[in-house]
Structure 1
Amino acid sequence: MKLTLVKGWLLQGCVTAALLASGSVSATELLNSSYDVSRELFTALNPPFQKQWQEQHKGDTLTIKQSHAGSSKQALAILQGLKADVVTYNQVTDVQILHDRGNLIPADWQARLPNNSSPFYSTMAFLVRKDNPKGIHSWSDLTRSDVKLIFPNPKTSGNGRYTYLAAWGAFSQQDGGDQAKTRDQMQRFLKNVEVFDTGGRGATTTFVERGLGDVLITFESEVNNIRKQYGEDKYEVIVPQVNILAEFPVAWVDSNIEKNGTEEAAKAYLKYLYSPQAQQIITSFYYRVYDQKAMDAAKGQFPDTKLFKVDDQFGSWPDVMKTHFANGGELDKLLEQGHK
């Protein structure tokens, strides 16, 4: 019996090899380079797309691999040779750099998919411990000397940059555009940061598992999923009334898909993110979407908040990066002043 089984396996292997050689059976593999806290989202999105792909492409087995870290680190890895087929990031600049510094994608990459190639979006939220002991409700509350903050480093994380810009924008609107007052608020805000992790998931670990800080600031999607995972009775979520629109841009990496032979699958994968099925899955992870039916179905899940765009408040992303996050920029100056 054992001999018969071995012969069967050998025969099956020979048949499979012959089919592969003839092109009757094929295997496609995609690598999705994504931001730090998107693991669970794409773990949920990948299987239904794989099923759809394999139903439409009989004989093609599709595998999707994921790579996660701070979005800026991920972009740098691609520039250094990581052969990712698609990128699903949380900031425009981390996709744009693939054109600016590597010419791996075209200049008009944002025009290739709807909503500036952003299939979903989010905003920033605060996660506080049970009963909100510090009485946190607004960005201004985060400048008090008795409040300790946890959020990712804006130098390495799109999550961190959105947090910084959300705070600046809220303070600026509150201060009537008085830059001196806004800088003073930002200095106190940054002085309260207890730990600057490199990415969003590291910040979550610091707050939840190490128990540091009074407030974790991260994407609305992340704080709600933390609360579901670690106990809804242990944490509360606060979405401030003035907030930032955080886009989540995606792109296929033209240079890589050409070399990898994955153009059709990579494009289909990103287009799938706009489908009703995917949009519904995305809202289940507390991301906001442009599909009104999906948002209506998730009514009550997303508090009302006044969102401002980065471009409207700060100018273009290149200007933002140069002014605030380059070496010697506003972030560095505020941190230095806060520690004097």
Structure 2
Amino acid sequence: MKKQFLVATAVSLALVGVLSGCGGKEEEASAGAASTAATASAGAAASPEASKAPAPKAVELTNVSYDPTRELYEAYNKSFADYWKQKTGQTVTVKQSHGGSGSQARKVVDGLEADVVTLALAFDIDSIVESGQIKAGWQSELKDNSSPYTSTIVFLVKKGNPKGIKDWDDLVKPGISVITPNPKTSGGARWNYLAAWAYAREKNNGDEAAAKEFVTKLFKNVPVLDSGARGSTTTFVEKGIGDVLIAWENEAYLSLKEFEGKFEIVNPSISILAEPPVAIVDKVAEKRGTAEVAKAYLEYLYTEAGQEIAAQNFYRPRLESVAKKYADKFPTIKLVTIDKDFGGWTEAQKTHFADNGIFDQIYKPSK
């Protein structure tokens, strides 16, 4: 590098000498320009990077998510960071926060700064809208009501299914210990509860009173209510409490993977279409200047790469090409929907899970 600089400097001085001999001010100005150009050329030759634009400033996102998405977003965040770096040259890191969906939403309302939320159900994001941090109409910002993947509710039992669990009716039998999280704090628990309610209501020809009695019996068989779905999984698969775990499908398959040969899945005759939604927390993203990358982060969930990662982590992909590829991994189950069968999340929350709602009426903690 030193040798290049000396050569370039010599060339510059020679040019100045020749042009000065011509005696005009215009020529002197030209000589100065030539000298500057030569020096700049030398600098460029010495350091090729000098001609490149500076790299964009690194950016950090915070994704506040629900309990069982830890493995999903660990893989997804790495993939998105690579994609974004290649596309823009910008380094992005993503901090994760996990817990029961309802609890996570309340933390955001109370001041936990999230650029994006990826929660278990729409009502939890709507509660953040009410705080003024997310704009109304958020579900129309992305495809499929801003739910890039789906799941459902299944049963996880010990290998060999020693209690003979086949359907929801078996969960209300005397002596059966059922593990499920608390619907007051967990989004997954609310899906569990509504799937059980839908089964009982259909079995009893639409009788809501019969459905209430059925779910009351079910919760009498629940010895402990963890605050989130991952906590309930730990209670069942690691602590060995309970005969059956009512679980997110993806969480059940993850348990099969991590505890090979110890558990098996039972698919009920009726379950519910769970549609976990995502949204930008507009107030925080605008404050931090992360709105562009936050939007790209959520949009990437809908790409083939994002959908592959979802499927590999046992979420049902929306993209048809990926869904076909993994079709044999996800059994066909009769599914009710929150909108058609429960009037949407606002109505379901008010009826079943709000203070003094049906859940508060039927659940009496064990003493």
Question: Please, what TM-score do these two structures have when normalized by structure 2?
Answer: 0.84
Q: Secondary structure at the match of 1:195?
A: coil
Amino acid at match of 2:236: F
Task: State whether residues 223 and 366 of structure 2, in contact with CA within 8 Å, keep that contact through their aligned partners in structure 1.
Answer: no
d(CA) in 1 for partners of 2:307 and 2:244?
29
Paired residue for 1:34?
65
**Once the 2 structures are TM-superposed, how far is the Cα of residue 305 of structure 1 from its aligned partner?**
0.4
**Once the 2 structures are TM-superposed, how far is the Cα of residue 82 of structure 1 from its aligned partner?**
1.2
**Once the 2 structures are TM-superposed, how far is the Cα of residue 179 of structure 1 from its aligned partner?**
2.1
Amino acid at match of 1:154: P
**Once the 2 structures are TM-superposed, how far is the Cα of residue 239 of structure 1 from its aligned partner?**
1.6
**Once the 2 structures are TM-superposed, how far is the Cα of residue 339 of structure 1 from its aligned partner?**
7.1
Paired residue for 2:121?
91
Is 1:283–2:319 an aligned residue pair?
A: no
d(CA) in 2 for partners of 1:163 and 1:187?
13
For the pair shown, the structure with the greater C-alpha radius of gyration is 2
Is 1:137–2:175 an aligned residue pair?
A: no
Task: State whether residues 178 and 245 of structure 2, in contact with CA within 8 Å, keep that contact through their aligned partners in structure 1.
Answer: yes
Q: Which one has a larger percent strand, Structure 1 or Structure 2?
A: 1
d(CA) in 1 for partners of 2:75 and 2:363?
39
Amino acid at match of 1:333: Q
d(CA) in 2 for partners of 1:24 and 1:116?
35
Residue 293 (structure 2) aligned to one of 265, 268, 281: 265
Identity of aligned residues (%): 44
Q: Secondary structure at the match of 1:273?
A: helix
CA RMSD for the aligned pairs? 1.5
Task: State whether residues 241 and 304 of structure 1, in contact with CA within 8 Å, keep that contact through their aligned partners in structure 2.
Answer: no
Is 1:237–2:237 an aligned residue pair?
A: no
Residue 56 (structure 1) aligned to one of 87, 101, 126: 87
Please show how residues 1-340 of structure 1 align to structure 2 within 5 Å.
24-58=55-89, 60-100=90-130, 102-231=131-260, 233-336=261-364
The structure-2 alpha-carbon separation of the partners of 1:68 and 1:339, relative to structure 1 and needing over 3 Å to count, comes to: closer
d(CA) in 2 for partners of 1:130 and 1:329?
37
Amino acid at match of 2:78: P
Q: Secondary structure at the match of 2:91?
A: strand
Question: Please, what TM-score do these two structures have when normalized by structure 1?
Answer: 0.90
**Once the 2 structures are TM-superposed, how far is the Cα of residue 25 of structure 1 from its aligned partner?**
4.3
d(CA) in 1 for partners of 2:114 and 2:159?
41
**Once the 2 structures are TM-superposed, how far is the Cα of residue 208 of structure 1 from its aligned partner?**
1.1
Cα deviation code 1:61-115 (max 9, x no counterpart): 1111101011111111111111110000111011111111x11111100001000
Amino acid at match of 1:241: S
Cα deviation code 1:263-321 (max 9, x no counterpart): 11100000000001111111111111221211111122111101111121111211111
Amino acid at match of 1:216: L
Task: State whether residues 86 and 252 of structure 1, in contact with CA within 8 Å, keep that contact through their aligned partners in structure 2.
Answer: yes
List runs of 5+ in structure 2 lacking aligned partners.
1-49
Q: Which has the higher contact order (CA 8 A, sep 6+)?
A: 1
Q: Secondary structure at the match of 1:43?
A: helix
d(CA) in 2 for partners of 1:296 and 1:216?
29
Amino acid at match of 1:243: S
Paired residue for 1:5?
none
Q: Secondary structure at the match of 2:112?
A: coil
Task: State whether residues 243 and 306 of structure 1, in contact with CA within 8 Å, keep that contact through their aligned partners in structure 2.
Answer: yes
> Which stretch of structure 1 is more off in the superposition, 143-152 or 264-273?
143-152
d(CA) in 2 for partners of 1:324 and 1:241?
23
Q: Which one has a larger percent helix, Structure 1 or Structure 2?
A: 2
Cα deviation code 1:2-40 (max 9, x no counterpart): xxxxxxxxxxxxxxxxx9xx9644110000000011100
How many residues are aligned here? Answer: 316
List runs of 5+ in structure 1 lacking aligned partners.
1-18
Cα deviation code 1:133-186 (max 9, x no counterpart): 111111111111121111110000000000000000111011101222222211
Cα deviation code 1:176-197 (max 9, x no counterpart): 0122222221111111111100
